[in-house]
Chains A and B, each alone.
Chain A
Amino acid sequence: MSKIIGHEDNLNAIRVLIKKHKKNDRIFSYIGLFVIGSLAIALLVLFLDLVIDGYPKMNLEFFSNFPSRKPEGAGILSAWVGSALVLIVTFFVAVPMGVASGIYLEEYAKKGWFADLIEINVANLAGVPSIIYGLLALGLFVYEFGLGQSILTAGLTLSLLMLPIVIVATREAIRAIPVHIREAAYAVGATKWQVTLHHVLQYAMGGVLTGIIIGMARAIGETAPVITIGALTFIAFLPPTPVTDVAPFINFAWLEAGFTVLPIQMFNWISRPEHAFHINAAATGAVIIILTLLMNGIAIKLRYSIRKKIKW
């Protein structure tokens, strides 16, 4: 059946056909690049638009003024302080719990229904809409536990959101560590916890850190659950300072204080009809997006450098 007869004709027919098909390849390449280019441009436009719109407000006063009825003098002092304090709570709750959870699932849990149950729950929690966490926090923290609409409540709420991210990152980082490293540690007489603490956790630290940064970046921008627990939108005072000049130098009164956070302040200003407030919103948005892009950028960079550096 080999085509000796009319061979040249056959070859030419094939060539014409290939040319036609290759055109589809090329067209799709262009479409693909175009789509991805548009997405990148969308991201850029997003960023530039906020920065340009908000530029007139980008000065120190904006960071040191309270919100005000007058758009010109309004600032984000209470919002960024609130965000920072809420994040401190979130960090100290979500990180230990998430890392411990991840360690348990990877290093300790035996295969079986119990591990499966936890696993299914972690997977589903990652997909629960953030506003549902807000409802949980409203019912549980605000009213059942009587924590009120406080910084503590908000921090706990956001830590629920951050938890699955930290758990998943911890597990992935731990899973990348080969068995022979653990065996080497066991072989010199280490206990399970020593192996975990001295080796597994140390080597997984980079990956865990990536997850923590991404989780914190997400917590900074989260709005819906914080609104749902009833965060105030207009706050013209600061919570008590966490550090004092009298012993024991630390107080926890700020945990119970009312608060607002950056995204809520932005949301509040977007909702005003006056254009001047939209400028404030843009400036706040620029602050938020610079923070989150920076944190995500660091996390991505960190992940790539870990992937490059470590070859087991």
Chain B
Amino acid sequence: MAKKNPKISRALAKNIRRNFVERLIEIALMLSGLIAVLITFGIVFILVTESLPFFEAVSLKEFLTSTVWTPNFEKKNYGILPLVSGTLTITGIALIVAVPLGTITAVYLSEFASHKIRETIKPVLELLVGVPTVVFGYFALLLVTPILQKIYPDLPTFNMLGPGIVMGVMIVPYIASVAEDAMRAVPMSMREGAYAMGATRFQTAVSVVMPAATSGIVAAYILAVSRGIGETMIVAIAAGQQPNFTFNPVESAATITAYIVSVALGDLEHGGIGYQSIFAAGIVLFIMTLSLNILGQWTRKKFTERY
């Protein structure tokens, strides 16, 4: 056996140490990567375990079919439907506002605006996304509702119309941004095909670009619904916190999120049925938004695969 070269063995030892450190770092990074998975599991775990006692006390049938939600009354009722109806009504109003405005904005930015105009407008939309929802809630209650009351004097201070409209304005940039991405992903060759036939900008946008980007645009709407359902502060401030099984926008009603806030604001008795009920409501909210998000991302992905 040849004599060991001390220089080489030193280098070798250094290599081993270095590889060890590298491995350690990789494991640390992987653990950080896992945090996202852990959070998801944490959410599911907490929602299920904290609401299990609730579902032992309240049957699933009552929870899903009863139209009365009065956890704080003498005679307690736990039917989630009034909270769902409030959530859906406000989200519906928001969509009526946001879908046309968001789509028009997206079409304009993607097909009509010059590069310069687009670069000016997009930051404004991004700023709008950055406005905290508690500020939007202030406007719904103290600016929009009073204006609506001038038109329709019977409108109560807490109603679903005002916050719905404000939520719509809040959602516009989301729809515009996702839908614009989808339209800009339509290959230029397809637009050229239409222009070469003598189509105008509007004709090209409506009859070629939008159909080609349909799934991306639909994904934008789906993600917007999810955002509306999960929105909390606007509705907690301006729609009222009284559960009300109605789809009438000029009435006051609580959403799932507003209910959670109203309970959290009061004295929470850990382990009490009030405490458990917000986790039960949370499960419903989580399932609704999660399935919409998965559906939205799936639709969006289906679109990107095509080109």
Contact = CB atoms under 8 A, between A and B. Distances in A.
Interface in A39-70: 39-40, 42-43, 46, 49-50
B128 A223 contact: no
Contact of B18 (A160, A191, A263): A191
B33 A228 contact: no
Interface string B284-305: 0110011001101100000000
B225 to A, nearest CB: 11
Nearest to A32: B108
B39 A35 contact: no
Interface stretch (B72-80, B242-250, B261-269): B261-269
A117 B35 CA distance: 11
Contacts of B285: 129, 131-132
A40 B127 CA distance: 10
B200 interface: yes
A293 interface: yes
B101 A220 contact: no
A125 B200 CA distance: 42
Interface string B258-282: 0011001100101000000011001
A193 B134 contact: no
B40 A263 contact: no
A164 interface: yes
B108 A46 contact: no
* Chain B interface helix/strand/loop/mixed: helix
Contacts of A128: 43, 230, 286, 289-290, 293
A100 B28 CA distance: 8
A221 interface: yes
Contacts, number: 265
Interface in A113-136: 117-118, 121-125, 127-136
Contacts of B198: 18
Nearest to A118: B33
Nearest to A263: B134
B107 interface: yes
A50 B135 contact: yes
Interface stretch (B1-9, B62-70, B139-147): B139-147
B50 interface: yes
A173 B154 CA distance: 53
B202 A136 contact: no
B231 interface: yes
B233 A46 contact: no
B287 to A, nearest CB: 11
Interface in A180-200: 191-193
A139 B229 contact: no
B133 A221 contact: yes
A92 interface: no
Interface residues of B, number: 89
Interface stretch (A71-79, A104-112, A237-245): A104-112
Given A132-B282, A214-B130, A224-B232, A281 B138 contact: yes
A100 to B, nearest CB: 4
B89 to A, nearest CB: 17
B35 A101 contact: yes
Given A33-B108, A233-B265, A163 B39 contact: yes
Contacts of B265: 227, 233
A151 B121 CA distance: 38
B123 interface: yes
A271 interface: yes
A128 B291 CA distance: 11
Interface in A265-312: 266-267, 270-271, 278, 281-282, 285, 288-289, 292-293, 295-297, 300, 304
A86 interface: no
A217 B290 contact: no
B36 A193 contact: no
Given A118-B37, A123-B297, A24 B202 contact: yes
A14 B34 CA distance: 63
Contacts of B237: 267, 270-271
A132 B230 contact: yes
A293 B123 CA distance: 11
Contacts of A288: 132, 134-135
Given A21-B200, A21-B202, A263-B134, A121 B260 contact: no
Interface string B168-183: 0100110000000000
A131 B32 contact: no
Contacts of A218: 130, 132
Contacts of A100: 28-29, 32-33
Interface of B: 18, 21-22, 25-26, 28-30, 32-37, 39-40, 42-43, 46-47, 49-50, 101, 104-105, 107-109, 112-113, 119, 121, 123-139, 141-143, 169, 172-173, 198, 200-203, 205, 223, 226-227, 229-233, 236-237, 257, 260-261, 264-265, 268, 270, 278-279, 282, 285-286, 289-290, 293-294, 296-297
Given A39-B124, A132-B285, 5 more contacts: A28-B107, A104-B29, A127-B293, A224-B261, A285-B138
The list of the 3 closest CB pairs from A to B, nearest first, reads A221-B132, A129-B230, A32-B108
5 contacts: A104-B30, A129-B232, A135-B260, A139-B279, A167-B36
